[in-house]
Amino acid sequence: MRLPKIVLAGTAALALSLSLGACSLSVNGSGSGDSGSAAATQAEQKDSQSTDTGASAKADAQASGNSNGSAKASTGSDHKDDDKDSDKDGDDAPITDATWKDIQSKGERTEVSGSYAVQSSGGTLNLVGDLDTLTVQGSEVKIAAEDVDTLTIQGSDVTVYARDIDHLTIMGSNVTVHWLGDDPTIQDAGAGNTTGKLAQ
């Protein structure tokens, strides 16, 4: 019976590897030392394989982490825009009202923050910055403002335009207040006052 060449080649390779294994065992020593050195060789091979596998797994994790990080970064910026828009709806809206633009261009530009009070009469102010409170006690005053948490008007003949107002209290007369953002809570104890959101 003739065996195919592939079977003979496989058998020869197996015999060669067994004889080489026997040679390496005889070189290292005999008896229990042989199994110890063979076990040590196998342990070294396993360590090198696990190191290679661990390194590639770590590289894969870092690569996926970087891609996730960039996805989070872009998602985070989207959420910031959403948060900004939901908190202050009037922040991004362009100002097209002619009276408001006139107050901005002709008014005395003042950087503001925190609390600010207007006690003068007959002035035009362009207040730039976010305010916790804006109190107007003067009369015949025109004001352009940005974001105001609490606006209190105690004077008369006062006009205020603001991007966003959260709380509005009017104790004067002939007061006009307009805004772009969401409607504020309004307490009007005065007379002849006009308030409303601008439709641009």
Q: Is the pLDDT of residue 152 over 60?
A: yes
- HEC sequence for the chain: CCCCHHHHHHHHHHHHHHHHHHHHHHHHCCCHHHHHHHHHHHHHHHHHHHHHHHHHHHHHHHHHHHHHHHHHHHHHHHHHHHHHHHHCCCCCCCCCCHHHHHHHHHCEEEECCEEEEECCCCCEEEEECCEEEEEECCCCEEEEEEEEEEEEECCCCEEEEEEEEEEEEECCECCEEEECCCCCEEEECCECCEEEECCC
Mean pLDDT of 43-72: 46
Q: What is the pLDDT of residue 138?
A: 87
Instruction: Decide if 138 is inside a domain.
Output: yes
Query: Are residues 178 and 128 both part of a single domain?
Result: yes
User: Whole-model pTM?
Assistant: 0.56
pLDDT interval class at 9 (50, 70, 90):
low
Q: What is the pLDDT of residue 136?
A: 96
**Last residue within a domain, chosen from 43, 58, 86:** 86
Query: Are residues 117 and 73 both part of a single domain?
Result: no
In total, how many domains does the chain have? 2
Domain membership of residue 140 as a residue range? 98-197
Q: Is the pLDDT of residue 137 over 90?
A: yes
Instruction: Decide if 46 is inside a domain.
Output: yes
Q: Is the pLDDT of residue 184 over 60?
A: yes
Query: Are residues 106 and 185 both part of a single domain?
Result: yes
Q: Is the pLDDT of residue 65 over 50?
A: no
Average pLDDT, the chain: 73
